[in-house]
Structure 1
Amino acid sequence: MADSSQALVTIERRDDGVAVVTLENPKVNALSSEVLRQLRSAAQSLTEQPPGAVVITGGPRVFAAGADITEFAGPDEARAIGGLFLDALNAVAAIPRATIAAVAGFALGGGCELALACDFRVATPKTRLGQPEILLGIIPGGGGTQRLARLVGPAKAKDLVFSGRQVRADEALAMGLVDRVVEAEVLHDEALAWAAQLAKGAVVAQGLAKQAIDLGLEGTLAAGLDLEQQLFVEVFGTDDARIGVDSFNEHGPGHATFTGR
């Protein structure tokens, strides 16, 4: 069992406004209980003091291999582990900024679920994603049946969950499971560049739009439209809205320099 004082999840806050969260649990970045606790703590820190955007990454060959199977036993242990996954990945999903998973190598089980908790996913040609829990006679317990179905549709989600098969990058791109595929040597540069571009935008508005989309999908269209109206009014209280409107009136679209407030 890992020492709770050991840093298994690190945060680097860069000068360009991007925060990089790195999983560092050799050899395969298993999402042990301690890793999940540290991941939740990192996500909460990024929520309390939001950067411009976030990149989440793992190792060069394994983004994250999933849960630590040595912690599996019976229903009581499953309830505890499932709760840790729920808390950690919900905290990642709730970060009020754009989040990009830079996925090198394998992202299986809980690793795939971590990528699903992000807003966007960048992969390499050798990336493999999947929900192989069924091969152990169990089902995903970190959001795989829910976020996956919302992302790629119920039939494709059932195919992946029922079979436990691994998806290659080209198929993942075609089904919308990943958003970009780039060569391995430029994966992190591409993810960081994308995040830096987003970090220069109206990040508070991005966070409110993210909230509207994510929470809106949980309810009816009418409830989502009501939420959108509420957040539409709220965003006009930000400095960026004033800057953006004034810049448009003076210079036209695309010339505003936002402050992130």
Structure 2
Amino acid sequence: MIRVDDSGPIWEIRIDRPEKAGALTEAMLQDLADTLRTAHSARALILTSTGRVFSAGADLDAAHAGLATSPLWEEVSGAIAALPGLVIAALNGTVAGGATGMVLACDMRIAVPQARFFYPVMKLGYLPQPSDPVRMSALIGPARTRMILLGGHKVDAETALAWGLVDEIVADGSVVDRARELCADTVAAPLEIAHGIKAMCPVT
């Protein structure tokens, strides 16, 4: 289930399926895409999840029906990258597979120390979504991107920080609380200034 709190200037979108490690179904992806199309009024947006895993990617039961290669993944990540407000991924745990794309499309990524990052798309017999290697290479370089996508390398939080895959590790407290702190200046600034600065620092 996708839960949305749009009651204030900082929207929160939460993947709420801890019993399935945040695995995404087609309906959940469509819900995300539909929600993001309406989020242009948000001054800032936090993308997070419930439980110990951010998302295991595609629901494995649904993956065999073509979900792993659905254009919805690219639609979601593209919608995130197109938002004019600040978008922060508050990673409460591990990010795997197709869920990586939506995280890469955010402006910032903060994570708990237990987070891990892996994208076993080649092992599963699929190509990654087209924008994912481009955005990953922009953050960590082409060689490290090949390590993850071709070498099957699993990246821990400290390595992710050193490489630039995440921007901060939140060792104490809530990643969502920290994300809200990082949104505070953007929300307080004049709209045209906040949007203008983001436009000068685009996501690839």
Q: TM-score, normalised by structure 2?
A: 0.89
Q: Alignment partner for residue 20 of structure 1, among 12, 27, 31?
A: 12
Pairing 1:99–2:87 present: yes
Tell me by how many angstroms 1:155 deviates: 1.1
5+ residue gaps, structure 1 = 1-7, 218-261
Alpha-carbon distance in structure 1 between the residues aligned to 2:110 and 2:161? 9
Distance 1:136 1:155 in 2: 21
For residues 52 and 107 of structure 1, the distance between their equivalents in structure 2, rounded to whole angstroms, comes to 25
Q: Residue 62 of structure 1 aligns with which residue?
A: 53
Q: Show the counterpart of 1:225.
A: none
Query: Is 1:214 aligned with 2:181?
Result: no
Structure 1 position 88 matched with structure 2 position 76: yes
Higher relative contact order, structure no. (Cα contacts within 8 Å, ≥ 6 residues apart) = 2
Cα deviation, residue 33, structure 1: 1.0
Name the aligned partner's letter for residue 95 of structure 1.
L
Q: Secondary structure at the match of 1:31?
A: coil
**Which amino acid is the alignment partner of residue 166 of structure 2?**
V
- The answer to whether the aligner puts 1:116 opposite 2:104 as a matched pair is yes
> Which of 171, 185, 188 in structure 1 is aligned with 2:173?
185
The separation in 1 between residues aligned to 2:149 and 2:194, in whole angstroms, is 32
Closer, same or farther: CA 114–172 of 1 in aligned 2, 3 Å: same
Sort the Cα spacing of 1:204 and 1:109 in 2 relative to 1 into closer, same or farther, 3 A.
farther
- Percent sequence identity is 29
Shift of 1:41: 1.0
Please give the alpha-carbon distance, in whole angstroms, between the structure 2 residues aligned to 1:134 and 1:23: 25
Using the TM superposition, name which of 124-133 and 200-209 deviates more.
Answer: 200-209
- Cα distance in 2 between the residues matched to 1:33 and 1:184: 34
Aligned residues: 203
SS in 1 for 2:38: helix
Unpaired runs of 5+ in structure 2?
none
State the distance in 2 between where 1:57 and 1:72 align.
22
Contact 1:52 1:200 in 2 (8 A): no
Find the counterpart in structure 2 of residue 31 from structure 1. Answer: 24
Equivalent of 2:113 in 105, 121, 125? 125
Over alpha carbons, which structure has the higher Rg? 1
SS state at 1:163 partner: coil
CA distance in 2, matches of 1:66, 1:176: 21
RMSD between superposed Cα atoms in Å: 2.1
Aligned to 2:36: 43
Q: Where does residue 63 of structure 2 map in the other structure?
A: 72
1:181-204, Cα deviation, whole Å (9 max, x unpaired): 012533221111112232112333
Which letter does structure 2 place at the counterpart of 1:20? E
**What one-letter code is carried by the residue in structure 2 that aligns with 1:134?**
M
The alignment partner of 1:139 has SS state of coil
How far 1:164 sits from its partner (Å)?
1.9
